[in-house]
């Protein structure tokens, strides 16, 4: 299936972020997952895949983050602009 | 025409990407840069025509209202050239698709350059064709050259070959020497008649082994210890072997032969 969806899950705790990442990977078949630290206590989990998988993963990750009280934002973006994607993934690689 | 830039600051990467997704739907707006300083904020710079940016930001602010994260934006019309240097931005960016295409081209040219600069192993053997057995044609010149080389070989080399043969087979020439053969017979105590006896016994033994016939014990009794040992070594299926034969005396050897025959 075409990979056209990008998911963002922001948390304020690294341990919770890792737990959520585990839950997301278990919930759906994802081909790409990265963690970006955007602030002193702000972590973003970036996932990529087909829209249903990303949505399922985000739901699982959000539930896990809410249980630990570290949830900030979750967002699903379909067909992300290539320029934005390039910048974001560049940051993710760094 | 890029006559204005816009700076968008959010506290969420998710919100920032969502807003940019909405803004960049307009073909007349380009993304200059997206920076994550590390203090929790995400700053993005866009450029384009003022009217386009203005309308895009209105839709973006509508999206940001649904989020609890901070959203700030500022449009600068006709920015000074030095401002680009201050913000470390590119002065003009080509269209998005063109940027991607250019990157792809760059990668492909790099690949071709590396292939050209380093010749592959296959290219080294391109000129060679495998020769099948029986199809190989040996040029007549090379045969003539080999013959001439053989003719021109010095005699010392021929002598060397002979000496090598002598090293590998040291007793080949000596056995033919009649004096050495005579001395050998004397050492073993063999007479001409005894030799005939051994031959006859061995023949009998061979026939015995082949056809299980009886061997002549009387002839064996005439042998001395040396002959018996020698015969025992050549006898197939003799109960003792090697050192045991050399240690055994005449009577013991005869007893073994009696048992066998």
Note whether B96 contacts A39, CB cutoff 8 Å.
no
Q: How confident is the model at residue A66 (pLDDT cuts 50, 70, 90)?
A: very high
DSSP letter string, B125-149: TTT--PPPTTT----HHHHHHHHHH
Note whether A10 contacts B14, CB cutoff 8 Å.
yes
> B31: burial class by Cβ within 10 Å (0-12, 13-18, 19+)?
buried
Q: Which segment, A3-17, A58-72, B113-127, B220-234, is predicted with the most confidence on average?
A: A58-72
Q: Which of B34, B38, B68 sits opposite A88 (nearest CB)?
A: B34
Those residues whose C-beta lies under 8 Å from the C-beta of residue B250, and which sit 6 or more positions away, are B224, B225, B228
Note whether A44 contacts B13, CB cutoff 8 Å.
yes
User: By C-alpha distance, which of A63, A44, A57 is closest to A5?
Assistant: A57
pLDDT at B4 over 90: no
B71-77: strand order across its sheet? B29-35, B42-48, B4-10, B71-77
User: By C-alpha distance, which of A37, A88, A86, A47 is closest to B93?
Assistant: A86
A/B interface, count of CB pairs below 8 Å: 78
Q: How confident is the model at residue B248 (pLDDT cuts 50, 70, 90)?
A: confident
Task: Name the 3-class secondary structure at A16.
Answer: helix
Mean pLDDT of chain A: 86
pLDDT at B74 over 60: yes
Strands B29-35, B71-77: pairing kind: unpaired
CB contact at 8 A, A76 and A55: yes
DSSP letter string, A60-72: HHHHHHHHHT-EE
Least confident span in A47-61, B71-85, B243-257: B71-85
CB contact at 8 A, A73 and B14: yes
Strands B71-77, B42-48: pairing kind: unpaired
First to last CA, chain A: 28
Using a CB–CB cutoff of 8 Å, tell me whether B43 touches chain A: no
Using a CB–CB cutoff of 8 Å, tell me whether B104 touches chain A: no
Strands A71-78, A32-39: pairing kind: unpaired
Note whether A83 contacts B21, CB cutoff 8 Å.
no
Note whether A44 contacts B39, CB cutoff 8 Å.
no
Chain B residue with minimal CA distance to A88? B34
Chain B residues in contact with A9 (beta carbon < 8 A)? 14
């Amino acid at each position: 299936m075409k990979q056209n969806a990008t998911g963002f899950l922001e948390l304020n705790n690294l341990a919770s972020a890792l737990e959520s990442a585990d839950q997301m990977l278990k919930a759906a078949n994802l081909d790409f997952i990265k963690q970006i630290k955007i602030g002193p206590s702000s972590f973003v989990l970036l996932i990529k895949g087909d829209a249903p998988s990303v949505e399922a993963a985000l739901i699982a990750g959000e539930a896990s983050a809410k249980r630990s009280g570290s949830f900030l934002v979750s967002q699903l973006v379909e067909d992300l602009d290539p320029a934005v994607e390039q910048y974001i993934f560049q940051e993710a690689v760094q | 025409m890029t006559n204005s830039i816009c700076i968008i600051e959010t506290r969420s990467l998710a919100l920032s990407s969502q807003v940019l997704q909405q803004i960049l739907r307009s073909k007349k707006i380009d993304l200059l840069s997206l920076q994550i300083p590390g203090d929790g904020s995400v700053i993005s710079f866009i450029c384009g025509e003022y009217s386009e940016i203005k309308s895009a930001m209105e839709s973006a602010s509508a999206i940001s209202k649904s989020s609890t994260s901070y959203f700030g934006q500022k449009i600068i019309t006709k920015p000074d050239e030095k401002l680009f240097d201050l913000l470390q931005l590119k002065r003009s960016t080509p269209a998005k698709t063109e940027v991607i295409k250019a990157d792809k081209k760059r990668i492909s040219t790099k690949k071709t350059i590396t292939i050209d600069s380093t010749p592959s192993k296959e290219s080294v053997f391109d000129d060679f064709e495998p020769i099948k057995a029986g199809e190989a044609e040996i040029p007549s010149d090379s045969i003539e050259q080999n013959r001439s080389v053989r003719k021109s070989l010095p005699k010392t080399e021929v002598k060397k070959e002979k000496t090598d043969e002598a090293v590998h087979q040291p007793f080949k020439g000596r056995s033919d020497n009649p004096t050495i053969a005579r001395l050998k017979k004397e050492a073993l105590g063999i007479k001409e008649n005894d030799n005939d006896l051994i031959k006859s016994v061995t023949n009998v033994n061979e026939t015995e082994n082949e056809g299980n016939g009886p061997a002549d014990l009387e002839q064996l009794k005439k042998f001395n210890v040396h002959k018996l040992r020698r015969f025992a070594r050549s006898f197939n299926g003799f109960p003792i072997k090697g050192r045991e034969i050399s240690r055994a005396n005449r009577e013991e050897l005869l007893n073994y032969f009696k048992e066998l025959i």
